[in-house]
A = this chain, B = another copy of it.
Amino acid sequence: MTLFNLKSKLRQQGVVGGLAAAAMMTAAYPAFADIPVEKMTLEVAPPSDSKRVYVTDPGHFQMTSQVFTIDGNNNKILGMSDAGKLPHVLLGDKGNFMAIANTWYDRIARGNRDDYIEVFDTQTHDVTADIDIPEGRFLTAVFTHMATLSTDDKHMMFQQFSPVPAVGLVDLEQNQFVKMMDTPDCYHLFPAPEQNVYMHCRDGSMLRINYDDEGNSTQTHSKVFHPEDSYLVNEPYYSDVTNRLVWPDYEGRIYQAKLTADGAEFMEPIEVFTEEEKADRWRPGGWQLVTVHNDTNELYLLADQRGEFTHKTPSRYVFVIDADTGERLRKMELNHEIDSIAVTQDDKPYLFALSANEQTLYTFDAKTGKKIGETAGLGRYPHILTLPQDSE
């Protein structure tokens, strides 16, 4: 139906929708030649692949957030999704769906609080489920691992801090909240097979939580795996596929563990920087400052020469090492002040590098270090990258 048919149809109906419809009808304008009206449609994004990347802009503790769907192959924006204050963006089913945990108020930044999970189809960007949860999300500058899907995508979990520490369990098959599971003084959520999820505790141990569909759980602490004065950054790398946890401290020491249904297996810590580099003040720094290419076992660490306790200031370099041996493979100069990095999991990997201050995503060839694209204008302070881990 064209605009030109519209007016007569409205007249036939004998009732028209007020001024809005009136203004709309003016488009049926006989002083113009009756050429075909261009077809108007709604886009659908192509299916997710291993180079799909989502950039989240929560601003700086702002009430609204925006999630940009970007095709990393060509740095094209495919669409956007809305979120509330300090959201968690999770990808499941090889990137075919996205779950966002939201917090929203009914009087802008006051009034009644509403926490809820929205599930999106990553092609249509339509909401496929809206799940109410208790108003307990732990609101921090976004730590991506403070909410997680289970390894089988059947459950989603989020952390509560106050009034008591707990983990909220959500059933994504039934689309309903299950239970708040009480926990001790532990943080982050790393899923392991067979309905296990791990947390990292203040004392330096890992806590394994085995839960059933009703939210009953048994909890077991591992040994303490790092000393008290080795401060582990807020954004470790964790693969839901390999269940490998890779965790730098403020000085560039990397702790690693394999998290299984049976328990945590810790590797010997490795050092990214030589003694000489440490003397030259090389340290990690940024937000998501570590990423791993699983198949080749290459570890990428965002770093720069810097003072102590500047662990969140962006960096301009990436050190690439063998994650098993610590062997230095290469060093990349990014030529931008980068807050977050993430590498794709295919066999021709790209390294995505996000600058919050420049509101720009840069794409590099992960092997050659060559810059191959960028996407600018990503909101106010974008600093979160989310990639489909289980693609390819």
Could you list which residues of chain A lie within 8 angstroms of chain B, going by C-beta atoms?
Answer: 17-21, 62-64, 82-84, 102, 104, 106-110, 114, 118, 127, 130, 161-165, 185, 380
Contacts and interface: CB of A to CB of B under 8 A. Distances in A.
Given A108-B83, A108-B104, A109-B82, A19 B64 contact: no
B104 A162 contact: no
B17 A162 contact: yes
Given A17-B163, A164-B18, A82 B110 contact: yes
Contacts of A114: 106
B164 A19 contact: yes
A356 to B, nearest CB: 16
B104 A20 contact: no
B106 A106 contact: yes
B108 A163 contact: no
Given A19-B164, A63-B64, A164-B18, A82 B104 contact: no
Given A19-B185, A380-B380, 10 more contacts: A18-B164, A19-B161, A19-B164, A20-B161, A20-B162, A64-B108, A82-B109, A104-B107, A104-B108, A106-B114
Contacts of A17: 162-163
Nearest to A166: B18
A137 B20 CA distance: 13
A83 to B, nearest CB: 7
Contacts of A18: 161-165
A284 to B, nearest CB: 25
A20 B64 contact: no
A20 B110 contact: no
5 contacts: A17-B162, A18-B164, A82-B108, A82-B109, A106-B106
Contacts of A130: 107
A72 to B, nearest CB: 25
Nearest to A164: B18
Contacts of A20: 161-163
Contacts of A104: 106-108
A19 B185 CA distance: 8
Contacts of A84: 108
A185 B23 CA distance: 11
A165 B23 CA distance: 12
A19 B165 contact: yes
A118 B84 CA distance: 22
Contacts of A162: 17-21
A164 B19 CA distance: 6
Nearest to A184: B19
Contacts of A19: 161-162, 164-165, 185
